[in-house]
């Protein structure tokens, strides 16, 4: 493993110095020129993660000078996390792609003009559509910021294949909530008396305002219990950290439900009136006692009883936090685990209750329709099979199954791939497998930087300008319906696009012109924004001026679909469906039942490989930021955690380099031996393992869990099962 050292940072800084000349930026020149320049404060939304926090950016002499949080914005209320600051500085990162690139060899690119790029891509795309039909074209993106434009392109060429990254993030959760609830509910942390977090780390997988609310509740005396194989950052502020054997949360949940039902602690009225198929659930799971679960989870039966009773005692002002990534794309049993999350909360009767689970406050926006729409074309089935009968019928088509695409490219089914704001080579399983994407005839990547997908698979790289260099249609930001006013925020241009980069809308216009679809992109971001705010009593100028507006004309006394009269959820029964019809119809169990994880470590040197976020990094994108990587260096942040006792048995100590080996990869990494991790697993921070030579700061630093994970698909929700992997660990040479 190449440990990051002061020297490599100096090297990176020197490289930055050299390259910055080509970005027409050097700090000393700028400082001199800007001495007397006035400072202007402009608005935008951070792009460091999906929170899209509100930012004020200070601009001096045309250059971003500093940033602070917008105090109104619900997601951050004036705060910015370390990643946000890093992202702001990254505008001047020399590793940005600053003009279109064409691949001319395995690791070789040549800069070309936008005109040439559009003409060549347009010609190849037209040829592919003529020869193989539009169905062979795929658009993949993080989601969903490019969707409006992608839809026009895909409609024009006749392809249903819009695919997002969600299979790698939380598809088990969204699939289950859509089917069992027909809506989403969120923890009302601030007003809760008892919160159980399982595989959710607010202080590492950061939600700035969420964490503020948890701390406020704690000050008011709320109890916080964290169940996690690792003592994560949130566990450190919690009342209790309960280590669990990874992959067994389903058994823990079944036993919690068992206690609540068996001891008659459930909210009887709620279950009677608003739950469908309770009996089917209970008949299938009567034997899931805490004693049964203890053997599977490693959590003492008495502790499980205590948690169940505490949850019930504080209900409805208690909840099991609905969770995010930590459990919902990781295991063969993630779907059943996500189902149990709803079952437990429903048994507590905390839905639509203050201090329990609440829907978000939102506003109705208008829908933008371009004046000219592509003529309707007959489309084949989705190429990834998502939502298709006989294939992956239960997977949400709106999200897709990205990990199928490399195989389909290799088989000649997928001929052209557009990748926008997405890096599956690093964030999807098995990079060597992902590289098969390049087998498609045409791969076009639209990133900001030299990410792995662009570097290793793209025929053309079309650089988007940085988020502070572009405007985008507004987004709603929603808090809780009983006590937060909904908000609308808009990303606006803070500085001019640097060098030869363009916003996505202009890239689409350029491409569309070459394939005869120009008329369908005859609109601007402002046209989109105006149509969206049409139902609201505001002007675009007002929104742009404020950056973020709060709508105070909302009533805090909304009608809920599960209170008073008829149950009115958007589900077949109108109730919370404990048994999911579409799962049953496709040969799966409708109710959750115990399924063990797919793989289990058995030998002395075997561990489950698990992972998690670090507070100062976002996925992988920030690992090419020299400032944030300084923090990594300060804290030895790339180290893999291993349980101290197991490390002792293997003769391994903190600071040792170990060899980590799965069926598909062998890597070396330094370790931290600690009591703060369950003995069955090793844990790696999820930001590292860069392998794009042109992203110098990230290159070769640390390891990536995806290197070890195969590309298999969980059949109900289509997730990647990112922790169904056993690794062997042994002491290395160094």
Q: Which does 676 bind (CB under 5 to 8 A by kind): ligand SF4, Mo ion, ligand MGD, none?
A: none
Please provide the DSSP assignment of 313-352 as one string. HHTTSEEE----HHHHTT-TTHHHHHHHHHHHHHHHT-BT
Identity of the residue, 46 or 275, whose beta carbon is nearer to ligand SF4 in the bound complex: 46
- Out of Mo ion, ligand SF4, ligand MGD, none, what residue 224 binds, judged by CB under 5 to 8 A for its kind, is none
| Residues touching ligand SF4, count (CB under 6 A) | 14
Range in contact with ligand SF4 (rule: CB under 6 A) among 36-44, 49-57, 418-426, 725-733? 49-57
Nearer to Mo ion, 142 or 404 (CB): 142
Q: Does 673 bind Mo ion (CB under 5 A)?
A: no
- With H, G, I as helix, E, B as strand and everything else as coil, classify residue 187: strand
Minimum distance of ligand MGD from residue 379's CB (angstroms): 25
Going by the DSSP 8-state scheme, the letter that residue 489 receives in this structure is: E
Q: Does 217 bind ligand SF4 (CB under 6 A)?
A: no
Instruction: Match 């559509």 to its residue by tokens.
Output: 129
What residue 48 binds from Mo ion, ligand SF4, ligand MGD, none (CB within 5 to 8 A, per partner kind)? ligand SF4
Task: List, in sequence order, the alpha helices (H) in 329-471.
Answer: 334-348, 405-410, 424-427, 431-434, 452-457
Residue 169 touching Mo ion (CB under 5 A): yes
Contact 446, 507 (CB under 8 A): yes
Q: Is the peptide bond before 420 cis (omega within 30 degrees of 0)?
A: no
Residue least distant from ligand MGD (Cβ): 205
- What is the spatial distance between Cα 622 and Cα 84, in angstroms, rounded to a whole number? 10
Is residue 54 part of the contact set for ligand SF4 (CB under 6 A)? Answer: no
Decide if residue 83 touches ligand SF4 (CB under 6 A). yes
Count how many Cα atoms sit within 13 Å of the Cα of residue 610 in the half-sphere of its side chain.
32
Question: Quick one: 152 or 621, whose CB is closer to ligand MGD?
Answer: 621
Out of ligand SF4, Mo ion, ligand MGD, none, what residue 53 binds, judged by CB under 5 to 8 A for its kind, is ligand SF4
Query: Which residue number, 550 or 633, has a Cβ lying nearer to ligand MGD?
Result: 633
Residue from the set 4, 46, 271, 478 that interacts with ligand SF4 by CB under 6 A? 46
- Closer Cβ to ligand SF4, 71 or 295, answer by number: 71
Q: Which is nearer to ligand SF4, 51 or 328 (CB)?
A: 51
Please, are residues 326 and 579 in contact by the beta-carbon 8 Å criterion?
no
Q: Does 206 engage in binding with Mo ion (CB under 5 A)?
A: no
Closer CB to ligand SF4, residue 166 or residue 708?
A: 166
CB-based contact 183:569 (threshold 8 Å): yes
Q: What is the dihedral of CA 157, 161, 164, 169, to 10 degrees?
A: 180
Look at strands 681-685 and 606-612 and give their pairing.
Answer: parallel
CB of 308 to ligand SF4, least distance (A): 33
Cα–Cα distances in angstroms (integers) from residue 205 to residues 211, 284, 539, 685, 734, in the given order: 10, 34, 35, 11, 32
End-to-end distance of the chain based on CA atoms, in angstroms?
Answer: 10
Output the smallest distance, CB 265 to ligand MGD, in A: 23
For the CB of residue 415, give the shortest distance to ligand MGD in the complex, in Å.
Answer: 22
What is the C-alpha separation between 539 and 561, in angstroms, rounded?
33
C-alpha–C-alpha distance, residues 107 and 571, integer Å: 51
Q: Residue 94 or residue 722: which is nearer to Mo ion going by CB?
A: 722
Q: Which does 326 bind (CB under 5 to 8 A by kind): Mo ion, ligand MGD, ligand SF4, none?
A: ligand MGD
Least distance in Å: CB of 441 to ligand SF4?
37
Question: Could you say which residues in the range 460-519 bind ligand SF4, by CB under 6 A?
Answer: none
Q: Which stretch binds ligand SF4 (CB under 6 A): 51-59, 280-288, 436-444, 510-518?
A: 51-59
Residues 318-347 that bind Mo ion (CB under 5 A): 325
Question: Judged by CB under 6 A, does residue 52 bind ligand SF4?
Answer: yes
Asked whether position 687 contacts ligand SF4 by CB under 6 A, the answer is no
**CA 367 – CA 531 distance, rounded (Å):** 6
Q: Pairing mode, if any, of strands 318-320 and 357-358?
A: unpaired
E-assigned strand segments in 530-680 = 548-550, 576-577, 606-612, 640-643, 657-661, 666-674
Per-residue binder mask for ligand SF4 (CB under 6 A), 589-628, x = binder:
-----------------------------x----------
Contacts of 627 (CB under 8 A, 6+ apart): 85, 86, 89
575 touches, from ligand SF4, Mo ion, ligand MGD, none (C-beta below 5 to 8 Å by class)? none
Measure the CA–CA gap between 553 and 556, rounded to whole angstroms.
10
In the shown chain, the binding pattern of residues 124 to 163 toward Mo ion, with x for contact by CB under 5 A and - for none, equals ----------------------------------------
Q: How near is the Cβ of 36 to Mo ion at its closest, in Å?
A: 44
* Residue of 91, 169, 176, 206 that binds ligand SF4 (CB under 6 A): 206
Nearer to ligand MGD, 60 or 173 (CB): 173
> Which helix H or strand E contains 381, and what residues bound it?
none
> 81: closest CA among 172, 264, 204?
204
Closest contact distance (angstroms) between CB of 9 and ligand SF4 is 22
Q: Are 381 and 160 in contact (CB under 8 A)?
A: yes
Pick the closest to residue 129 from 441, 522, 454, 493 (CA basis): 441
- Interface residues with ligand MGD (CB under 6 A)? 47, 49-50, 83, 142, 165, 168-170, 198-201, 204-206, 227-230, 232, 244, 246-247, 249, 324-327, 420-423, 426-427, 446-449, 451, 464, 467, 610, 612-613, 615, 617-621, 683, 686, 704, 706, 723
Q: Give 250-284 as a 3 state SS string.
A: HHHHHHHHHHHHHCCCCCHHHHHHHEECHHHHHHH
- Note whether 687 binds Mo ion by CB under 5 A: no
Interaction of residue 208 with ligand SF4, rule CB under 6 A: yes
In this structure, what DSSP letter does residue 469 have?
Answer: G
Min dist. Cβ of residue 277 to ligand MGD (A): 26
Question: DSSP states of 698-734 as a string?
Answer: TBT-S--GGGG------TTT----TT--EEEEEE---
- Residue whose CB is less far from ligand SF4, 117 or 494: 494
Residue 350, binding choice from ligand MGD, ligand SF4, Mo ion, none, Cβ under 5 to 8 Å by partner class: none
Residues that bind ligand SF4 (CB under 6 A): 46, 48-49, 51-53, 76, 80-81, 83-84, 206, 208, 618
Residues that bind Mo ion (CB under 5 A): 169, 325
């Amino acid at each position: 493993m190449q440990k990051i050292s002061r020297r490599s940072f100096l090297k990176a800084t020197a490289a930055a110095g050299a390259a910055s000349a080509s970005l027409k930026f050097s700090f000393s020149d700028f400082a001199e020129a800007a001495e007397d320049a006035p400072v202007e404060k402009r608005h935008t939304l951070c792009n460091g993660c999906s929170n899209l926090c509100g930012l004020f950016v200070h601009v001096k002499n045309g250059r971003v000078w500093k940033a602070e949080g917008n105090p109104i914005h619900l997601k951050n209320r004036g705060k910015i996390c370390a990643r946000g600051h890093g992202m702001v500085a990254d505008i001047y990162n020399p590793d940005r792609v600053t003009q279109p690139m064409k691949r001319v060899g395995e690791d070789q690119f040549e800069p070309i003009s936008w005109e040439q790029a559009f003409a060549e891509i347009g010609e190849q795309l037209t040829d592919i559509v003529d020869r193989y039909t539009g169905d062979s074209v795929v658009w993949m993106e993080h989601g969903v910021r490019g969707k409006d434009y992608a839809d026009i392109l895909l409609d024009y060429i006749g392809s249903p294949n819009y695919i997002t990254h969600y299979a790698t993030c939380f598809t088990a959760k969204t699939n289950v909530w859509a089917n069992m609830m027909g809506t989403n509910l969120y923890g009302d942390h601030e007003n809760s008396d008892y919160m159980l977090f399982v595989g959710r780390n607010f202080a590492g997988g950061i939600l700035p305002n969420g964490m503020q609310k948890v701390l406020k509740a704690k000050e008011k005396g709320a109890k916080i219990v964290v169940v996690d194989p690792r003592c994560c950052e949130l566990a450190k502020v919690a009342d209790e950290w309960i280590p669990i054997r990874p992959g067994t949360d389903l058994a823990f949940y079944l036993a919690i439900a068992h206690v609540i039902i068996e001891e008659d602690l459930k909210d009887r009225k709620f279950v009677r009136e608003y739950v469908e198929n309770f009996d089917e659930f209970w008949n299938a799971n009567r034997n899931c006692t805490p004693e049964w679960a203890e053997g599977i989870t490693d959590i003492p039966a008495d502790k499980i009883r205590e948690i169940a009773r505490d949850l019930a005692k504080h209900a409805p002002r208690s909840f099991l936090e609905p969770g995010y990534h930590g459990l919902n794309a990781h295991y063969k049993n993630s779907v059943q685990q996500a189902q149990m999350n709803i079952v437990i909360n429903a048994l507590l009767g905390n839905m639509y209750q203050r201090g329990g689970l609440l829907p978000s406050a939102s506003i109705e926006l208008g829908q933008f329709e371009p004046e000219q729409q592509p003529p309707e074309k007959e489309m084949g089935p989705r190429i990834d099979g998502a939502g298709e009968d006989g294939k992956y019928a239960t997977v949400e088509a709106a999200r897709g199954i990205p990990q199928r695409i490399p195989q389909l490219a290799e088989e000649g089914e997928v001929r052209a791939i557009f990748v926008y704001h997405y890096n599956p080579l690093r964030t999807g399983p098995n990079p060597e497998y992902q590289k098969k994407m390049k087998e498609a005839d045409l791969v076009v990547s639209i990133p900001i930087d030299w990410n792995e997908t662009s570097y290793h698979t793209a025929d053309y790289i079309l650089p988007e300008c940085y988020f502070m260099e572009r405007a985008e249609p507004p987004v709603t930001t929603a808090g809780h319906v009983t006590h937060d006013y909904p908000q609308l925020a808009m990303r606006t241009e803070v500085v001019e696009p640097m060098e030869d980069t363009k916003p996505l809308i202009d890239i689409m216009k350029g491409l569309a012109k070459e394939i005869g679809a120009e008329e369908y992109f005859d609109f601007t971001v402002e046209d989109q924004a105006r149509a969206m705010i049409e139902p609201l009593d505001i002007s675009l100028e007002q929104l742009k001026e404020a950056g973020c507006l709060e709508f105070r004309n909302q009533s805090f006394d909304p009608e809920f679909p599960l209170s008073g009269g008829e149950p009115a959820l958007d589900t077949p029964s109108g109730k919370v469906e404990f048994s999911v019809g579409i799962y049953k119809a496709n040969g799966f169990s409708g109710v959750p039942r115990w399924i063990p994880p797919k793989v289990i470590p058995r030998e002395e040197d075997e561990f489950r490989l698990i992972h998690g976020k670090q507070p100062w990094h976002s996925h992988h994108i920030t690992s090419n930021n020299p400032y944030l990587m300084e923090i990594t260096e300060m804290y030895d942040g790339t180290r893999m955690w291993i349980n101290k006792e197991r490390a002792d048995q293997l003769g391994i100590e903190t600071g040792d380099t170990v060899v980590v080996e799965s069926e598909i990869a062998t890597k070396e990494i330094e370790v931290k031996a600690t009591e703060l991790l369950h003995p069955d697993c090793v844990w790696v921070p999820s930001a590292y393992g860069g392998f794009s030579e042109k992203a110098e700061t990230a290159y070769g630093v640390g390891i990536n869990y995806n290197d070890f994970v195969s590309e298999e698909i969980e059949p109900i929700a289509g997730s990647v099962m990112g922790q169904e992997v056993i690794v062997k660990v042994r002491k290395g040479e160094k």
